[in-house]
Structure 1
Amino acid sequence: MTTEIRHIVYDIGHVLVHYDPHVPFSRIIPDPEKRARFFAEVCTNAWNHEQDRGRPWPEAEAEAIARHPEEADNIRAFRAHWEEMIPYSYEDSVALYQSLIASGRDVTLLTNFAADTFRVCRTRYPFLDEGRGITVSGEIGMVKPDREIFDRHAETFGLTPEATLFIDDKAVNVEGAKAAGWNAVRFTDAATLKADFASFGITV
């Protein structure tokens, strides 16, 4: 018999809020090939992941500039223009999230985010504070998909792992949650998520 889901945990980026560094950089580096190289070699996903883990931006910029001094201005532009990278939220997905909260469901958020940029996002999208609470990777020095951040979130909010459902857009994070004993689904769009909820006996 499947355990009833009593806790729902949301990721934020690409689930509730759109994130795309190309929004400002299509202007900062107009040439598509040069921009692709910049993200592949300079300000890479792995480089940004360390800010999610808690590395301060000045340290991150210094590290990248040491590798690519010719890109110094563009490297500094990443943080300077960061707010442009979160241009909108997904209205249908946010509506589902708010419906769950309104119906009395226990909803929390677990996100990989640098601490300071998350403060920007939180101010811009107040609905993020409508759940019971948020674990931000950059604030605690842990990142998804590592087991420890799932355990920390469960401990912080008193979640029973087998009664928890996690929603994330990245397959590796979905698998990380499952390894921690949670149920988890990969987010693609709100309609699919609503069907996923139904499969767990959650009506929205």
Structure 2
Amino acid sequence: MTQTVANPIVVFDLGGVLFDWNPDYLFRELIPDAGERAWFLSEVCNPDWNIQQDAGRSLAEATATLSARHPAYAEQIAAFYGRWPETLRGTLVEGMAIFETLEDAGIPLYALTNWSAETFPYAWERYPFMQRFKDVLVSGRELLIKPDPRIYALMLERIRVHHPDAQPAQLIFIDDSLKNADGARACGWHAIHHTDPAETTAQLRAWGLPL
């Protein structure tokens, strides 16, 4: 039987949970051939490259380094960040419903995101709901990325600014990346690998949250 989480504090990942972000939205236009596009996004502007910007590398350095390696795709590489807003399609309705229900119930809400410090302001300025979190920890600003244990420790420190007695067992982390959810569990948090909003809602209810 699942045990109720006492005095829960919920920490949201952003991309894939609350935001609909996908480079494919842009590159469908730039690289119409599906096979070539899949190759480009897995071998050139791939997740391993992108995560380094989330860890603090500058967009200019990332673009220049990769363009030197793949000069035939320099224009497309430049577009990855030059036209980055086109990769962000807004918020995810079901994820936002979870956020708003928890907020209405008075559950303390925080965000912990792997996100470039240079692209994050675009979303921060255009999506006012993010300012309703008690705090948002952005990896690119801290030069740390999930699932490094140090970023979870830093998030807990930041939570304790508002909740001095907060303990890891109170924290519930929702992330669409399994390794990031596992990273939180390894630090003593509760965690949900978010793949289906209905399943996330069911797990939160099982822990006693008012959904």
3-state SS of the aligned residue for 1:9? strand
Match of 2:82 in 1: 80
Would the aligned equivalents of 1:5 and 1:200 in 2 still touch at CA under 8 Å? no
Please report the TM-score for the alignment, with normalisation by the length of structure 1. 0.96
Tell me, yes or no, if the aligned pair for 1:165 and 1:182 is still in contact at 8 Å.
yes
Q: Work out whether residues 9 and 164 of structure 1, in 8 Å CA contact, stay in contact via their aligned partners in 2.
A: yes
**Secondary structure, aligned partner of 2:20:** coil
Q: Report the AA paired with residue 175 of structure 2.
A: D
Shift of 1:58: 0.4
- Could you tell me which residue of structure 2 aligns to residue 60 of structure 1? 62
Map 1:17-36 → 2, pairs under 5 A: 17-36=19-38
Residue-by-residue CA offset, 1:156-177 (whole Å, 9 max, x unaligned): 1114111110000111001000
1:45 Cα deviation after fit: 0.5
Structure 1: tracts of 5 or more residues without a match: none
1:165 maps to: 172
The match for 1:152 is 154
Say if 2:120 is the partner of 1:113. Answer: no
Report the alpha carbon displacement of residue 194 of structure 1 after superposing the two structures with TM: 1.3
Give the Cα separation in 2 of the matches to 1:5 and 1:110.
19
- What TM-score, normalized by structure 2, do the two folds share? 0.93
Alignment size in residue pairs: 204
Percent identical residues: 36
* RMSD of aligned alpha carbons: 1.3
Deviates more, 1:182-191 or 1:170-179: 182-191
Counterpart CA distance in 2 for 1:106 and 1:190 is 20
Tell whether the 8 Å contact from 1:112 to 1:144 is kept in structure 2 after alignment.
yes
Q: In the alignment, which residue of structure 1 is the partner of 2:163? A: none
Runs of 4+ in structure 1 deviating by more than 4 angstroms, as ranges, are: none
For structure 2, the residue ranges without an aligned partner over 5 or more in a row are: 161-165
Say whether the 8 Å CA contact 1:122–1:128 is kept in structure 2: yes
Output one character per residue of 1:64-89: Cα deviation in whole Å (capped at 9) or x when no partner: 01211111111000001111111121
